[in-house]
Amino acid sequence: MKVQTLKFIFTIALLASLSSCTDSETENIPSYDTLISNASLIDGLGSPARPADIYIKNGLVARITTPDEVNAVVANTIDAGGRVVAPGFIDVHSHGDPLSTPEFENFLAQGVTTITLGQDGDSPELADLGPWIEQVREAGIGVNVAMFVGHGTLRNLAGIGQNPNPGADDLQRMLELLNNALDYTFGLSTGLEYNPGLHAPESELIEMARVVGGRGRVIMSHMRNEDDDQLEKSIDELLSQGQYSRVHISHLKSVYGKGATRAEEILDVLTAARSAGIDITADVYPYNASYAGIALLFPVWSKTAEEFVIAKRDRRNELEEYLVNRIARRNGPGATLLGTDPYTGKTLADLEVELGLPFEEILIDVIGPQGGGGAYFIMDDELQSRLLEDDNITVSSDGSPTGFHPRGHGAFAKIIEEYVVNRNAMTLVDAIRKMTSFSAAVLGLNDRGSVEVGKAADLIVFDPARVKANATYPDPLQLSEGFDIVLVNGEVAFRSGVATPNLSGSVLTP
Ligand SMILES: [Zn+2]
C-alpha cells in the first residue's frame, strides 16, 4: 500500500515534470501553418534551383531552410517530393468578372495566382470602386486581383464618351475621377483601338499620364494600332506619355509583320526609349492569333451601331473596299475564326461557302461590327517568339474563364511546355522570373512575385516535364495540367486538377 502510494506520487511528479518540460520545449519549437518539404525551389528572382523546405505562417512565407534543418511544429505538410516550387505566376493582362466566376480555375490550373482586371480601357463603370471591391472580397475569390481603371470607362463617367474634343471642365472631372480611382488601382489602362478610347487626342493622354506618374503607377496600353506599319507610331504615342509615367504595352504584337529581324527592330525601339530614361515594358501572349470584337475589322467611322447604320447607307462601297483590303492584309478570310454564336468555330472562309456570299457582304449584312468576337490568325511565330524571349517582356494571357481563345486556359502552361521544355528557347529559371518577380515589378507589387521570407505565400508545385496546355482553338476551355498544387496566400487553392472552395485570393491594395 505504502509502496503503491509512493509510486503513485512519483508518477504524478514525473508526469508533472514531463508536461512542464514539454511545455517549455513547445515554446522554443517554432510552429507553422504549412510546410512544403523537399522542394526544388526556384525563387523567381533568377537564382538557380536549390533544395529547400518552405514554412508558411499567416499566409506568408515565414522561413526557408535546407531540407530537414528545422525542428518545428507544423499543422500541414505538403511533400513536394523534389518537384519545383516557385512563386505563382502573375498575369499582367487578363479579363473576367470576379462576381460571376470567382474561382478563376482556368488561371489556377496554369499556375497563375494573381490576375489583373480593368484592362483595355474598360473597368467597372463606377465613380467609386471601393464598394465593388468590398463586394468581391466578401464574396471570395480564387486568385488575387490587381485592378486597373479604364480610360474609356473614365471618359464615359466624365460624360465625354466619344467626343474627340473634351472641354476643359469635362477633362478636369475625368482627371479627378482618375486620381480617386488610383487609390484602389495599380494604374490606368487604355484601349485606343476601341470606343470610346480611340477618340482621345494625345494631349488628353498626356494629362492622364501626369496624374498616373504623380501617383507612381503605370499606364497599360492596348495601343492605337497594332498593324506592322503603324507599330512605331503607336509606340511613340505611348512613349510621349512615358515622359510622365511608367508605361507598358499590353499584348505587344505585330499584325502581319514577319521574322525575327522585325522583332529586333521593335525591341530596339524599346531599348532606345529605356536608354533615354523612359520606363517601358511590355507583355506578349504565346499564340499567333489575337481575339477581339468584330468591330476591330471595321473602319473608325463604322464601329458603333449608329455609325454603322450611316456607313452602310451612305458609304457602302467604301466600307466593302476597306474590309476587302483589311482582311487581305490579315491573311485572308480563312484567318478569321469566329468565337461567338451562331458562328462559333467557323472561319469567314467557311461562312462564304455556307452562305454563298463574299466575306465583305457577310461582315456587313450578316454579322456587323457588334456581331460578336473572333480569333484572328495574324501573327508570325518567329517574330512573336523573339519578342517573348526578351528579358524586358513578360507574359500575359489576355484571357478569361469564358473567352473563346485557348490563351485564357493555356498561356502560362504553354510557356513552360512549349518554350522551356520543347523548344529550349528559355531556361525554366528565366521563364519563372519573367512570369513572377518581373511581372510584380511591372505592376508595382511589392509583397509577392518571389519566394522570400515575408512575401505572400502564393506558391506552385509542379514538374515542368508534365505541364501541358490542353486548350486549343476548337476547344479553348480545357484546363491546363501539371500544376499539382497551387497555394494562394498560404491556402491550397488548386489541387488534383480542381479548384478548392477556399477562395483565398484577395483584391490587392496598391
Ligand atoms: Zn487588348
pLDDT of residue 21: 41
Q: Ligand 1 centroid vs 298 CA: distance in angstroms?
A: 16
Q: Ligand 1 centroid vs 501 CA: distance in angstroms?
A: 31
pLDDT band of 27, cuts 50, 70, 90: low
Q: Ligand 1 centroid vs 10 CA: distance in angstroms?
A: 77
Q: Ligand 1 centroid vs 108 CA: distance in angstroms?
A: 22
Q: Ligand 1 centroid vs 94 CA: distance in angstroms?
A: 9
Q: Ligand 1 centroid vs 58 CA: distance in angstroms?
A: 36
pLDDT of residue 163: 97
pLDDT of residue 8: 40
Write out pLDDT tens, residues 146-196.
999 999 999 999 999 999 999 999 999 999 999 999 999 999 999 999 999
pLDDT band of 26, cuts 50, 70, 90: low
Q: Ligand 1 centroid vs 87 CA: distance in angstroms?
A: 26
Q: Which class is 87-289+378-447 in CATH? A: alpha beta
Q: Ligand 1 centroid vs 122 CA: distance in angstroms?
A: 10
pLDDT at 452 over 80: yes
Are the C-beta atoms of residues 280 and 243 closer than 8 Å to each other?
A: no
pLDDT band of 70, cuts 50, 70, 90: confident
Q: Ligand 1 centroid vs 138 CA: distance in angstroms?
A: 29
Q: Ligand 1 centroid vs 252 CA: distance in angstroms?
A: 9
Write out pLDDT tens, residues 231-260.
999 999 999 999 999 999 999 999 999 999
Residue-range domain boundaries for the chain: 87-289+378-447, 291-374
Q: Ligand 1 centroid vs 426 CA: distance in angstroms?
A: 25
Q: Ligand 1 centroid vs 313 CA: distance in angstroms?
A: 30
On average, the pLDDT of the chain sits at 94
Residue 66 to residue 39: CA distance in whole angstroms: 9
Q: Ligand 1 centroid vs 257 CA: distance in angstroms?
A: 18
Distances from the Cα of 458 to the Cα of 37, 101, 282, 447, 489, angstroms: 16, 20, 23, 10, 5
Question: What amino acid occupies position 79?
Answer: D
Supply the DSSP symbol for 417. I
pTM: 0.90
Write out pLDDT tens, residues 319-345.
999 999 999 988 999 999 998 889 988
pLDDT of residue 498: 97
Q: Ligand 1 centroid vs 155 CA: distance in angstroms?
A: 17
Q: Ligand 1 centroid vs 418 CA: distance in angstroms?
A: 23
pLDDT of residue 25: 46
| Residue 177 backbone zone (phi > 0: left; psi -120 to 50: alpha; other: beta) | alpha
Q: Ligand 1 centroid vs 173 CA: distance in angstroms?
A: 25
What string of DSSP letters covers 239-308?
A: HHHTTTSEEEETT---BT--SHHHHHHHHHHHHHHHHTT--EEEEE-S-S-EEEEGGGGS-GGG-SHHHH
Q: What is the mean pLDDT of residues 263-274?
A: 98
Write out pLDDT tens, residues 46-55.
999 999 999 9
Q: What is the mean pLDDT of residues 127-155?
A: 97
Q: Ligand 1 centroid vs 251 CA: distance in angstroms?
A: 7
For the ranges 25-34, 133-142, 268-277, which has the lowest average pLDDT?
A: 25-34
